[in-house]
Amino acid sequence: MFVFGTALLERNVEAVNSLNVFPVPDGDTGTNMLLTMKGILGDSSSVLLEAGDMADQMARNALMEARGNSGVILSQFFKGMSDGIKGMTYCGVEELAKSFIAARKNSYSAVGNPVEGTMLTVISSISEAAVKAADAGVGVDELFEIVCSNANDTVERTPEMLDVLREAGVVDAGGRGLAIILEGIRRQLKGQSLGDTLPFGDVGSPEMLSGKVSEQFFSDTHDKEYGYCTQFMIEGKSLGIEKIKADMEAIADSTVVIGNETIVKVHVHSEDPGKVLSSAISYGTLSRVDITNMDEQKEVFSRNTPNEGVNVSLGIVSVALGDGIKDLFVSLGSAKVLDGGNTLNPSVRDLVEVIDSAKSDKVILLPNNKNIIPTAHQASEISSKLVQVVESKTIPQGIAAILCFNSDRDIESNVRDMQESILSIQTVEVTEAVRDVMLDGIEVKEGHLIGLLDGKLTTTGRDLPSVVEAILEAAGVSGGDLVTLYGGDRVQLDEVQDLEKRILAVFPGSEVEVVNGGQPNYHLLISIE
């Protein structure tokens, strides 16, 4: 469910960035939260875990990948939720409510000087709302309806709590970002489409939405010093997180310190980052040091320069059909997703245009269809950018490939690893025959279902469960295999969920995931790994 939350945030990241005026107007709150959410998902999106184990894995990922003040608080929110459902197999309403309370406690404890009117206020408010909802005996989807409504209401009230927000004519950026994530989760639980736009009405003043802040606001804050945003990791033994937090609070502002006895993540604002690092190094080994001059960021922002988005050196462009599948590719890091598949092969021009629109100098192209691979190679030769094609022949292969992507590595290493990951995937496609045919020794009747395994016709029949069972048997599914069902627009979600139960019964020891893919023409796409 966090996939939808992340995807909705990504679609609205610039709107969140435009709201960011606290604690400094650096315009990156949305980006930091998005990168953190992608880090939180990590490998958790590709494996089936019990509720407690999943939450714990996501929390560990968050510690390492959290970026900026907002990202660190967000990571602690999920770390608290993890603590609340630790050891559980399933997570119901009561457990969720307890996890929200734990999340509030964890979020506040991580911040040296908590300020109301920020994301912390939203976290506190939704935690109380979750407890009341659980006491009223609502279901999980209703709980998230209540939590989302409360989050939106609280966000709208943040200017009443914080002068800097009221002066700038905006709501709190971190709070809005969290509300968007929760809204994405709510939509997935309700079986709704992700949507493209921010679902909350006006996000701030017209000036802020255009990337501009009033001259009066900057006049009022001109003399305030911002200094350097300093982030780093400390690794060691028996680190003493409370002592580190106290030391940081004594020499810096906006202090956030999280972690455990062996690894601690620190975020501070300081006029002297050298002093901060000198103090920190006495505790252990420093890594992932990141220092940003916020004074320069303020100057850029105060000149009313619109935020044009974040340029990265290496990006991914994917080809896919189906709202759910496209959302998944976006959530996993695809900068652009072009409509295309078995019934819609994009032209070379289409591919070149979307490649050129990506905010990166180097691009990895995932065609995700064997018929699009030649066109993809031609587009890579025509484009002015450096483009390399990972020859993914199916959607499941493309998903396996993008899960291996690492933005910190060069394009050649990524392409090699992504191409190798494809080899471990078997793809099943289930659709309806459009004519009578005898193929590979199998007689197919028009209107019957057919199952293809890695492009080869394997089985046919009238009954979807029987066809799926037969083709999974032909694929050699056994204990330990992960089977992911991508439901198309021709099947209902409950049908796919019934298939999940049948597969678990027929193939004991296997793991099954269900994704609402929404792809046309194909009842199911199935990944086996």
Find the distance separating the first CA and the last CA of the chain, reported in whole Å: 21
Place of tokens 């070379």: 348
175 and 20 in contact (C-beta within 8 Å)?
A: no
User: How far, in Å, are 77, 171, 262, 422, 492 from residue 73 at the CA level?
Assistant: 6, 17, 20, 36, 38
Question: What is the enclosing helix (H) or strand (E) of 396?
Answer: helix 395-403
496 contacts 514 by C-beta, under 8 angstroms: yes
Do the domain assignments include residue 38?
yes
Count the residues in the chain: 529
Q: Are residues 211 and 329 in the same domain?
A: no
CATH code, 447? 3.30.1180
Q: Evaluate whether residue 397 is within a structural domain.
A: yes
Among the three residues 196, 222, 248, which one is the final residue of a domain in this structure?
A: 222
- What counts of helices (H) and strands (E) characterise the chain? 22, 16
For residue 253, give both structure tokens.
């502002």
Q: Is residue 413 domain-shared with residue 502, that is, in the same domain?
A: no
Q: How do the pLDDT tens digits run along the chain, 529 residues long?
A: 577 888 888 888 888 877 755 333 345 678 878 877 887 776 544 444 555 566 666 666 666 666 666 777 887 888 787 777 766 666 678 888 888 998 898 888 767 677 888 899 999 999 999 999 999 988 888 999 999 999 999 999 988 888 767 766 778 888 999 999 999 888 888 877 776 555 444 344 333 333 344 444 344 444 444 567 788 888 888 888 888 988 988 888 877 777 777 778 787 888 888 899 999 999 989 887 877 766 554 454 444 433 334 446 788 999 998 988 998 888 788 889 998 876 677 877 788 889 988 888 899 999 998 878 888 887 888 788 899 999 999 999 999 999 888 877 889 999 999 999 999 899 999 988 877 777 778 888 888 999 989 988 899 999 999 999 999 999 999 888 889 999 998 888 889 889 999 999 999 988 888 888 898 888 999 999 8
Which residue intervals of 404-492 are DSSP H helices?
411-422, 464-474
Which phi-psi region, left, alpha or beta, contains residue 473 (left: φ > 0; alpha: ψ -120 to 50)? alpha
Kindly state whether residue 275 falls inside one of the protein's structural domains. Answer: no
CA-nearest of 245, 244, 230 to 283 is 244
Same domain (yes/no): 435, 415:
no
Structural domains counted in the chain: 3
- Residues 484, 404, single domain; the answer is no
CATH number at residue 85: 1.25.40.340
Same domain, 113 and 167: yes
Give the separation between CA 364 and CA 332, rounded to whole angstroms: 14
Same domain, 457 and 413: no
Does 290 reside within a domain? no
Does residue 264 sit within a domain? no
458 - beta bridge partners? none
One domain, residues 508 and 455: yes
| Whole-number Å distance between alpha carbons of 457 and 437 | 11
Question: Residue 332's pLDDT is what?
Answer: 82
Residue 189, Cβ density class (10 Å: 0-12 exposed, 13-18 middle, ≥19 buried):
middle
> Tokens at residue 164, please?
């800097």
Distance (Å, whole) CA 471 – CA 473: 5
- What's 445's DSSP letter? -
CA distance 283 to 276: 12
Element (H, E) at 35: helix 29-41
Residue 156: inside a domain, yes or no?
Answer: yes
**Residue 148 backbone class (left: φ over 0; alpha: ψ -120 to 50; beta: rest):** alpha
pTM: 0.48
In this structure, the answer to whether residues 187 and 59 fall within a common structural domain is yes
Q: For residue 92, list its beta bridge partners.
A: none
Claim to verify: residue 22 and residue 169 sit in the same structural domain = yes
344 DSSP 8-state letter: B
Contact 493, 524 (CB under 8 A): no
Residue 268 lies in a domain: no
Q: Report whether 399 contacts 351 (CB < 8 A).
A: no
- Torsion, Cα 302 168 70 277, to 10 degrees, reads 50
Whether residue 155 sits in one domain with residue 100:
yes
- Cis, bond preceding 23 (omega within 30 deg of 0): yes
Identify the three-state secondary structure at position 197. Answer: coil
Last residue of a domain, one of 405, 422, 439: 422
Domain boundary among 390, 422, 454: 422
Pairing of strands 449-453, 386-389: unpaired
Assess whether 126 and 63 both reside in one domain. Answer: yes
Q: Is 371 in the same domain as 441?
A: no
Cβ contact 448:460 at 8 Å:
yes
Q: How far apart are CA 303 and CA 213, in angstroms?
A: 9
Sheet holding 386-389, edge to edge: 336-339, 312-320, 360-366, 386-389
Evaluate whether 187 touches 11 at the Cβ level (below 8 Å): no
- pLDDT on residue 475: 93
* Residues of the domain holding 471: 427-528
How far is 52 from 58, CA to CA, in rounded Å? 10
- Residue 501 maps to a domain: yes
